[in-house]
Amino acid sequence: MTSTTAGPPRTAPRRRSTLTLVIVFLVSLAPVLAAVVFYLNPQWWPRDGSNYGTLIEPQRDLPTPAQLPLATLDGQPYDLRQLRGKWLLMAADGGACPESCARKLFIIRNSHASQGKNVDRVARIWFITDDAPVPQKVLDAYVGTVMVRARPEQLAAFLLDGGANAAPTAAPAAGTGTGSVNNATAAPAAALAGPMWLADPLGHLMLQFPADADPVKVRGDLSKLIYNSRIG
């Protein structure tokens, strides 16, 4: 009678299979990790001048409701951070929305709409910097834009680097009770009314576009960032 003795279990193929799965997982994860690292470190971005908007450094996070109280048009509080996870196109202006304001809303609406299958990755916001009523034609034309009221001096602390880019305020007239309030808000409101901004899905203020921005170039920046990003 011939007896056979079982040899040790063959584990090498199983180990190779596990190693292959680990390698595939790491390769798949690498672009996501790289995107996160580069968004958190804009100083590493290539300076090839290809962006139309100006890169904001240092980055500023979306403010909390305590830092920037916001209210919807019907007076309800609004937390800007609920839009994290989306690219945010932002503009600021008074509620009367003159032609220059309407132009900005038009640009951010069309830049948003032009993203095709990526349209759900973008949101647009209009910060209204006074208590003026918004014309009905503006409400109708820009349905889908988040419209919230904000005090301009508080908004400037977020969008204008602590208000450093706002023009200095004039001294209030002697003996006036409301002049100081009006003067304190007039300069940041005027400074805010020019540019537009873009925040990334991680909640970082990222780019500032100039006053009288080229709509084609704004759209190009947004499209390029969305196409190259796995975030948001």
> Taking 50 as the threshold, does the pLDDT of residue 134 lie above it?
yes
- The 10s digit of each residue's pLDDT in 6-60 is 555 555 666 677 878 778 777 777 666 655 555 555 544 544 558 899 999 988 9
**By mean pLDDT, which of 75-79, 169-173, 227-231 is the weakest?**
169-173
Average of per-residue pLDDT values in the chain: 83
Backbone phi, psi, residue 127, to 5°: -85, 120
- Residue 177 confidence class, pLDDT cut points 50, 70, 90: very low
Burial label, 183 (beta-carbon count in 10 A; 0-12, 13-18, 19+) = middle
Dist CA 108 CA 209 (whole Å): 11
Domains and CATH numbers, the chain: 50-169+181-228 (3.40.30.10)
Dist CA 61 CA 55 (whole Å): 14
pLDDT at residue 139 in the model: 98
pLDDT at residue 34 in the model: 59
- Residue 161 confidence class, pLDDT cut points 50, 70, 90: confident
CA proximity to 88, closest of 223, 205, 181, 199: 199
Beta-carbon contacts of 167 under 8 Å, excluding residues fewer than 6 positions away, are: 187, 190, 191
Instruction: Assess contact for 129 and 167: CB atoms under 8 A.
Output: no
- Residue 191 confidence class, pLDDT cut points 50, 70, 90: very high
> Taking 50 as the threshold, does the pLDDT of residue 179 lie above it?
no
- Residue 230 confidence class, pLDDT cut points 50, 70, 90: confident
Percent of the chain with pLDDT over 70: 74
- The 10s digit of each residue's pLDDT in 73-103 is 999 999 999 999 999 999 999 999 999 999 9
How many Å is the Cα radius of gyration of the chain? 25
> Taking 60 as the threshold, does the pLDDT of residue 129 lie above it?
yes
The structure tokens listed for 211 are: 């006053």
